[in-house]
Copies of this chain bind each other. A is one copy, B any other.
Amino acid sequence: MQYIKLAEDLKFSRIIHGLWRLADWNLSTNDTQTLIEQCLDRGITTFDHADIYGNYSCEKLFGQALAQKPSLRESMQLVTKCGIKLTSDKYPERKINFYDTSKEHIINSANESLKNLNTDYIDVLLLHRPDPFMDPQEVADAFIQLKEEGKVRYFGVSNFKRSQFDLLQSFLPFSLITNQIEVSPTYLNHFEEGTIEQCQQHKIAPMAWSPLGGGSIFTAEDERSIRVRNKLTEIGEEIGAKSLDQVVYAWLLAHPATIMPIVGSGKMNRIDVAIQALDLKVNRMQWFQILEASKGRPVD
């Protein structure tokens, strides 16, 4: 496993495990504990959560496993998110999904996450979505308080565009340490909009969610996805990959921005595929071949 230094005393494993669908995997608490331990055994030490995952249930499922063996906590880095308010049977007063980045909500949400995860501290708290109704001073106040209370060590964002990142950063006395964005061979927006360039400029490593396009690289039948799948297959043969998803991981890992893919699988064999991608090398021409297949045209 590779480790990426995000701050003086914070390292992430290059491959991150994502708990987005934990509630769908129908695991017992023992099964979840086993999954966590198997990840840790393989060197995956960073786990990605959000308050809302699984209709507000995934953090708790993970926390129950952690409660069975609290010593695991110090071997891992916990990332979670706040800022979205989902319609839910648990919140019948909500008429729509919306964002809330008020000081009150950020602090309440972080406290709730601490409780659910059965931990004293969150390593990194992310704002889940850029909020067009954001008061950056309120966010700063919330972050500073959570840091001073020792509840959250570091802060970042997710899905933030350049201007949104700049705005929030300008109100903070410390650096945002990551931007978790969607990146996959069929979702290139953050290459095109300069988000990844901004990470490079700030010397921060982006986390990549849905690296497999939500599974579409395996199954989607649109023209673009087929083109990409064929090219991934071809490059996979050249580099000795075992599977399509492994080529995708290798493609992401090859990029100089030090992208950290989030693997959101409950199956150890899919997780191993990602880990083994660290040993594969997608060269520059191959990287562009996949890019070209996605764009459907050569570079200029």
Contacts and interface: CB of A to CB of B under 8 A. Distances in A.
Contacts of A133: 255-256, 284, 287-288
Interface string A78-112: 00000011000000001111111010000000000
A201 B284 contact: no
A197 B299 contact: no
Contact of A198 (B138, B163, B197): B163
Given A201-B170, A285-B96, A162 B159 contact: no
Interface string A143-182: 0000000000000000101111011001000000000000
Interface of A: 84-85, 94-100, 102, 129, 132-136, 138, 159, 161-164, 166-167, 170, 191, 194, 196-198, 200-201, 255-256, 284-285, 287-289, 291-292, 298-300
A167 B201 contact: yes
28 contacts: A84-B299, A96-B285, A96-B288, A97-B298, A97-B299, A98-B285, A98-B299, A99-B288, A100-B284, A129-B300, A132-B191, A133-B255, A133-B284, A133-B287, A134-B256, A135-B256, A138-B256, A159-B300, A162-B194, A163-B194, A163-B197, A164-B197, A166-B197, A167-B194, A167-B197, A167-B198, A167-B200, A170-B201
